[in-house]
Amino acid sequence: MRPATPEEAAALLRESEGPLRPRGGGTKPWGPADDGAVIETGGLGRIVEHNVGDFTAVLEAGVPLVEAQAAFAAAQQMLAFDPPADPKATIGGAMATNDTGPLRHRYGGLRDLVVGTTVALSDGTLASSGGRVIKNVAGYDLGKLFCGSHGTLGLITRVAVRLHPLVRETATAVGAAGDAGRLGEAAVALAARPLEADCLDVAWTGGEGRLLMRFAGAAAGAQAASAVAAMRELGLEDTAVEEDDDALWDAQRAAQRGDCVLKVAGRITDLPAVCRTGAAVVGRAGLGLFWIQLEPERERIAEVREALHPRACTLLDAPESLRGDTWPAADPGVLAVMERLKQRFDPARAFRPGAFVGGL
């Protein structure tokens, strides 16, 4: 199925019996494999509005992120959202999978940037929530429910987002350590400084790692220099200001993907423990989110989960044989509410039955 409009998507859903698997660019085949008929959003490819003066835009779900960003950049604006680059990745897919990137440090996740959402449900209902103004508390925030729902509640057909000024001058402060504990202490201290960085990331591999702190704006170079001074005080080595820093950040993003990647929903202070799992790690050091590259073996995944218990570790990229193990166990009380939610929004269980947390 490849609807050309949200209305057509709703009509197709009304006729369909399921099971269904929504698909954007097909770049994130995450979660347990399911054999649903694919409903793809490639036909929902219009940038419906770009309200330059209001710093907002309305995108159909199938709009590739790179295409949207190019349109915004032409007006010196951006969607402050930079997940791992893939030309095929769409706004709808990024939202459904709650993908994220280094800019999350300053601007929040996609859940924080989406101001309006239209979804098509399995009974053919086409429902909107929010709006297209950046401040709005009328009605319930269904956008947040669908963000990270992995296509199991319904099909996201249209999204309104808030934009930010695009700042081209950037500079990154970098500092290294061979000791995970020292790196962790530095991360805690840097996260607490009033430096207003755009990004604060960690990269760890082969028993050593570094922190990267990116600044944007006219004073970016000077701010990075003061961050470097702070890093030295905190005992980091090989400190430097990188003015030409795009490649550094491309690498951070790229390391969120791989053959077998476990995402850790952690705390800032978890950094040393995550590094000590012995694998290659990248993460948002100021937010406590980490991505661990693992050998694609069931025992290894279980071992890392055990070491980081009780943090929730979700398997993202993985061979199909391991993807049945995607989700950590959910609290039964919360799961009961999620089940009722699934029942209300998708009573036919048409959308990816069994593919979500707790077998939802």
Partner 1 sequence: MVRPMEELIGRLRAIVGDEWCFTQEHQLRTYESDGLLQYAVRPGVAVLPADTEQVQACVKACAEAGVAWVARGSGSGLSGGALPLADGVLIVVSRMSRILEIDRANQRVCVEPGVTNIAVSSAVAPELFYPPDPSSQIVCSIGGNVAENSGGAHCFKYGFTTNYVCGLEVVLADGEIVMLGGQELDQPGYDLLGAFVGSEGTLGIATKIWLRVVPSPETVKTLVAFFDSTHAAGEAVSEIVQSGVVPGAIEMMDKVAIQASEAMANAGYPVGRGAALLVELDGAERECEARFDQVLGICERCGSDDVRIARDETERALFWKTRKAAFPAMGRISPNYFVQDGVIPRTRLPEVLDAIEGLAEEYGMVVANVFHAGDGNLHPLVCFDGRVDGEAARAEELSGRIMDACLQAGGSITGEHGVGVDKKRYMAKMFAEADLDAFQRLRCAFDPAGLANPGKVMPTPRLCGEVPGIYREHPLEAAGLAERF
Decide whether 135 or 244 has the Cβ nearer to partner 1.
135
Interface with partner 1 (CB under 8 A), residue total: 98
Q: Any contact of residue 359 with partner 1 (CB under 8 A)?
A: no
* 333 contacts: CB under 8 Å, gap ≥ 6: none
In the complex, the smallest distance separating the C-beta of residue 206 from partner 1, rounded to whole angstroms, is 27
Decide whether 163 or 260 has the Cβ nearer to partner 1.
163
Contact string (CB under 8 A) for partner 1, positions 223-262, x = contact: x---------------------------------------
Q: What part of residues 11-50 is at the interface with partner 1 (CB under 8 A)?
A: 14, 48-49
Task: Indicate the SS3 state at residue 278.
Answer: coil
Q: How would you label 211-249 residue by residue, b for 16+ Cβ within 10 Å and e otherwise?
A: bbbbbbbeebeebbeebbebbeebebeebebbeebeebb
- Is the preceding omega at residue 310 within 30 degrees of 0, hence cis? yes
Interface region with partner 1, contact rule CB under 8 A, candidates 88-96, 238-246, 274-282, 334-342: 334-342
In the complex, the smallest distance separating the C-beta of residue 248 from partner 1, rounded to whole angstroms, is 21
Q: Any contact of residue 327 with partner 1 (CB under 8 A)?
A: yes
In the complex, the smallest distance separating the C-beta of residue 36 from partner 1, rounded to whole angstroms, is 19
Among 15, 17, 206, 218, binds partner 1 (CB under 8 A): 218
Locate 92 and state its tokens: 């709808």
Decide whether 53 or 206 has the Cβ nearer to partner 1.
53
The per-residue DSSP string of 52-74 comes to GGGTEEEEETT-BHHHHHHHHHT
Measuring CA to CA, how many Å separate 22 from each of 15, 121, 152?
16, 12, 9
Helix (H) or strand (E) segment spanning residue 13 = helix 6-15
